[in-house]
Every structure is written in structure tokens, then in C-alpha cells.
Amino acid sequence: MRQLRCFLPGEQHFLGGRTVNEEFALHPYAPPGCWPKLQAVHRLSRKERRALLREGRRCVEKTRKLTELVAFHEDQGTKPPPIAIHDFPNSIPNIFGAVLAKAVERSEVELLCAIAMSNHHHILPRDGKGNLALFNEYFHGQLARQVNIFLDRRYALWGRRMSTKRVLGAKAEFERALYILSNPLSANLVARADQWPGFNCFESFVTGKPMRFLCMDRTRWHRNKRPKNIAPYLSTVTLELAAPSGDGIGTMDKRQWQKRVVETVVAREQTLHIERQKTGKKVLGLEGLLETLPSDRPKQPKNSPGPMVHSHCPITRKVYTRNFRLFEQQTREAMRRYMKGEIDVIFPPGAQVPGRFPRPRYPDDPDRAPLVHLSRINIALEVEAIRQFR
């Protein structure tokens, strides 16, 4: 049975998604329109594979330079020079960043950290206004659509729905950000976090500057009979990282927190370097990425389930798990009555109802209703009460 979800305003979540069959469809060096070639009957030679991915690497660099050009003219308030359609090849990292920036803007979700690996991604958002379900819907749907168009690929991109886990406490929040930024290091793909060519927030953590990605209004371009100059239809979207929650970090502001994360990641790089010297292991490296195709799969896929909640306190984990089980019981009972036509049934706060009409009802005062309210404040109060009676 599928685990239910609870999305409450102001709560922190750890999101993750994996491609179908764990294919490397989010490969940073995937060139445009490559999927039919990869599905051909004959097997590509090593030379053909490297040539294909070198083309994708050139697309990444070309898109990055074009983004800087368009962003410069936007900041100066001037018109960019004429740009032909073949001068904008686009790339998987740019597509991921642009879709993520639009999803954050549309749903008013605050983003702390994110990364895109070749067959999965990790995102650390804070649900500012209770719109995380809309964020998941738009981001996963639009990213699958854009990636399939770019690769000339069909069928589903994701193997399952997005994984959503609650994050409780400043330590768990810091640990999740560290896990995200050091993911390419732990997988022995690169020696330094800034070397990963896919979508990566590490540079923004170092500089403190927002990230910008290139978009093209193809609808308006087609309506104007597809002129050769596409410069008027190009624009950039900005993705700015949010500050941490502030629970338990004292007076540490956003930049101090980001610098502390960067310092810990750099220390992790040195630790892994020493371990590789002892064991004789080597990182795959950027040249090694040219040996893996977007249609390839890992030799040993990971199927380990994640925890229900991320927290450094064992009491908090037990309290949240117990309350979440009760939340599931109350939600399933309310859904059973709702599906039978009882539209006046009250759902627990944060419950996700499969239908939107008739609109589900929630308690006016969640803390006074006889239903579970899984806010971090209520969890912290219950944990504190348990500690006092011990």
C-alpha cells in the first residue's frame, strides 16, 4: 500500500526521483536527439560513443556561454545580437535548472539545495505556503516532458513517484544539504564537488550568487512564423537559494550556513582522497563520463528504502513515526467516507486528497481539532514532554 503524504506550510522536505530502470537519461553530456541512435540495432563503438558525448559536452558549453550573453544584455537593458536557432542547442543541466526555477516561482517554494545526477535527483525545499504538491506535479511533469523532447525520447521518464521525506531539526537539515552536494564525491564520479558538470548548487554556495538558466518562448516563436533570429524569444530565469530554517543554529545567517556547508564538503573531499589512496580506487572523472551513454544503467542499482523522517534525535523519529501512522489511519478513514459522497468530512491537516472537487475540508484550528497535526512545533513539544518525564 502506498504511503500517504503530509504537506504542511513551513515544513522542510527531502525530495528524490529516479529514472525508469535507472537509465542515465539525465546524463549531463547527453546530446540533443540522441535516443533513436542509442536504441538502434547495431551497438555503438567506443569511438562513436565518445563522439556522441563530446557533442553533448559542446552543447553544455555553448548553452552556458549563450546564457551569460543573454543575461548580460538583460542586466544592461540592451538587445542581444542576432542568434540563430542552431546556436541554442540546449542541455540537460540547463533544462533541469530552468524547470526547477519555474517550479519554485510558481509554487512559492523555498529551495535550499538541489543536484541532478545521471539517473536521479535530490532536492531540499521548504514548503512556504503548503504548495509542495503543486511543486512536485509541475516539476516532475515538465522535466519529463522537456527531457523527452530534448532526447527525442518517448514513454515515461520516472520509474516511480517522487520520494518525499520530512526533515526535522537544524542538524538534519545541514546533513541533507551536505549529502546532496557531496553525492558525486560519494559515488566516486569526481574528485571535487565543483567538477560535476550536471546541475549543481555548489557554485552558488561558494559565491552566494543566484543561478540563471536560459529559456526560449517557442510558442511565441512559432506564432511569429519561426523567424531566423531567436534572440527576442530568449530570456533567463533566476534561481536563488533560500536561508536555512534557523532552528538551533543561533545567529548563523544564510551566507554563514552556506560557507559552513562548503567547508564540510571540502573536508569530505580530502577524506575521500585519502581513502582512495589507501584502497587504490580512482574516480570516474569527466573523461570517464564520455564512456557512459544516457541509455546505460548502473551495474548494481540501489533499492534501499529511505527513512520515514530525517532527524538526529531518536525520540523525534519515534514520535513522528507513531503520529504519522495515526495520521494515515485518520486520512484513509476520511478518504473512504469522502469517496462515498460525504463531502463534509474533515481531513487531517496536510492530507493530500485524490480529488479536487468537491473541495476537501480541513479543520479551521488544526491544533484544537481531534486530528493529528504533524507540524514540527507539535512534534518538538511532544518530544520535550517525553524528556521531562524520563
Average pLDDT over residues 326-341: 92
Question: Quick check: 25 pLDDT over 60?
Answer: yes
- Would residue 350 be called left, alpha or beta, if left means φ above 0 and alpha means ψ between -120 and 50 degrees? left
Q: Inform me whether the pLDDT recorded for 250 exceeds 60.
A: no
Q: Domain residue spans in the chain?
A: 11-303, 314-389
Phi, psi for 281 (deg, rounded to 5): -75, 155
Angle at 279 between CA 276 and CA 284, to 5 degrees: 45
Give me the pLDDT at residue 128, please. 85
Confidence of residue 263 (pLDDT cuts 50, 70, 90): very high
Neighbouring residues of 69: CB distance < 8 A, sequence distance ≥ 6 = 80
Alpha carbon distances (Å) from 316 to 120, 284, 290, 373: 28, 39, 45, 15
Q: Which of 44-53, 58-67, 134-143, 199-208 has the lowest mean pLDDT?
A: 44-53
Q: What is the pLDDT of residues 104-127, one digit of tens each?
A: 999 999 999 999 999 999 999 999
C-alpha–C-alpha distance, residues 255 and 178, integer Å: 15
Res 300 pLDDT > 90: no
Does residue 26 register a pLDDT over 80? Answer: yes
Position 62 pLDDT exceeds 60: yes
Query: In the block, which residue shows the cell 546530446?
Result: 31
pLDDT higher than 80, residue 84: yes
d(CA 180, CA 171): 14
Among 184-198, 259-273, 341-355, 372-386, the range scoring the smallest mean pLDDT is: 341-355
CATH class entry, domain 11-303: alpha beta
Distance CA(387)–CA(379), nearest Å, equals 12
Per-residue DSSP letter, 233: G
Question: pLDDT at position 247, please?
Answer: 58
C-beta of residue 172 within 8 angstroms of C-beta of residue 44: no
* pLDDT > 90 fraction of the chain, expressed in percent and rounded: 72
Given this model, what pLDDT does residue 251 score? Answer: 57
pTM: 0.94
DSSP 33-67: T-HHHHTSSSPPPHHHHHHHHHHHHHHHHHHHHHH
Q: For the chain, give the mean pLDDT.
A: 91
Cβ neighbours of residue 320 under 8 Å, at least 6 residues apart?
166, 168, 308, 309, 311, 374, 379
**In this predicted structure, which of 52-66, 123-137, 165-179, 354-368 has the lowest mean pLDDT?**
354-368
Q: Mean pLDDT check: name the lowest of 50-54, 110-114, 142-146, 300-304.
A: 300-304
List the beta bridge partners of residue 361. 346
Average pLDDT for residues 212-230, to the nearest whole number? 95
Residue 313: the pLDDT is 92
Write down the pLDDT at residue 215.
95
Give the pLDDT score at 264. Answer: 96
Yes or no: say if 44 and 52 are a contact pair by the CB < 8 Å rule: yes
